[in-house]
Amino acid sequence: ALWHVLGAGSLGSLWATRLARANVPVRLVLRDAARVAAYEAAGGCLTLIENDASRSFPIPAQTLDDQVPIARLLVACKAYDAEQAVAQLAHRLNADAEVILLQNGLGSQDAVAAQVPHARCVFASSTEGAFRKADWQVVFAGHGFPWLGSVTDPAPPSLLEDVRASAIPHEWTPDILTRLWRKLALNCAINPLTVLYDCRNGGLLDHHCEVATLCAELADLLRCCGQPAAAEDLHSEVLRVIKATAANYSSMYQDVAHRRRTEISYLLGYACAAAARHRCPAPHLLQLQTRLATLLASKGLRTD
């Protein structure tokens, strides 16, 4: 069946090119006619750069208001763009459409699912890395794979056949929420502090106590939210990640460094809102959110 990939950024391009490589039919859905014109003027191809080898794939592009019905949709925009973008093409989804949501954090998935109640939504939690070298060119930084899962239906969806055929590494799990919560907690314990202390992940080894306090609060919060499995050994995994990625700049650090909007509302912001909703005390998380928002505002960046 035909796939539509919404958003030709880093992950969208990574998925679209791998599907195209396996001869799965793909269409890109870009934000407007100007973006489609720019893509076509650049040759109408997406380039995948992997292990220094590059290969281009001619993938047709269209706008959100095209009329072609959608059977398989990969939503690959940022969390803060997903709900509105999907709302614009919801009427094009078939009754049995399948939708993969690649967004980091939590909150956007439920907002998108509410826009398309007739479709089957699959949530993804990915540790795969990719970045845009230039428009329409993506570098596969590798490492990791996406967990895919559905909150409402533990049976694997039929689109997994194409994912498998495209040699896209992945695992199906009936427990995707645990994965998403765990990744959110790791993000909250690491990313905001790297922005506040202006450091690589490894720099947090100098802030051991602060990291430990945040991990204890996050673990309490996960248990309050009915996610005890996501709380297990959180602190030791955070330390393991900090050490294993000591030389890296976190994604939030890079967003701030490039003056891009962060996904804070779907990460630390979501955690703080969940703490309030469940009346779970989280003073250090709240203080962290205030400090981060103040810093973002001082740089003229959005705080939502």
Say how far apart CA 45 and CA 197 lie, in whole Å.
40
Using the 8-state DSSP alphabet, how is residue 304 labeled? -
| Min CB(254)–ligand NAP separation in Å | 10
- Rounded to the nearest 10 degrees, what angle do helices 176-196 and 208-224 cross at? 150
Catalytic residue among 78, 133, 183, 243: 183
DSSP labels, 82-109: HHHHHHHHGGGEEEEEEEEE--SSSSHH
State the residue number with the nearest CB to ligand NAP: 9
Contact code string over 119-158 relative to ligand NAP, x by CB under 6 A? -------x-xxx-x--------------------------
According to the binding rule CB under 6 A, does residue 217 interact with ligand NAP? no
* 278 lies in the site for ligand NAP, by CB under 6 A: no
For residues 6 and 113, which CB has a smaller minimum distance to ligand NAP in the complex? 6
Pick the closest to residue 284 from 235, 218, 194 (CA basis): 218
Lookup: tokens for 94? 């078939």
| From 1, 21, 25, 35, residue interacting with ligand NAP (rule: CB under 6 A) | 35
Pairwise CA distance, residues 159 & 98, whole Å: 7
The token pair at 68 is: 């072609």
Q: Report which residue type is found at 252.
A: M
**Residue 5: strand pairing partners:** 28, 74
| Cβ atoms 178, 215 nearer than 8 A | no
- Give the DSSP letter of residue 166: T
Residue 132 Cβ, how far from ligand NAP at the closest point, in Å?
A: 5
Task: Please give the Cα distance from 193 to 201 (Å, whole number).
Answer: 9
- Of 23-31, 93-101, 164-172, 277-285: span binding ligand NAP (CB under 6 A): 23-31
Q: Smallest distance, Å, CB 279 to ligand NAP?
A: 29
Q: Is 183 a catalytic residue?
A: yes
Per rule CB under 6 A, is residue 64 in the interface with ligand NAP?
yes
Q: Which of residues 75-104 bind ligand NAP (CB under 6 A)?
A: 76-79, 81, 85, 102-104
Q: Which of 3, 4, 5, 7 lies at the binding interface for ligand NAP (CB under 6 A)?
A: 7
Nearer to ligand NAP, 98 or 128 (CB): 128
The binding site for ligand NAP (CB under 6 A) comprises: 6-12, 29-31, 35, 64, 76-79, 81, 85, 102-104, 126, 128-130, 132, 263
Catalytic residues: 183
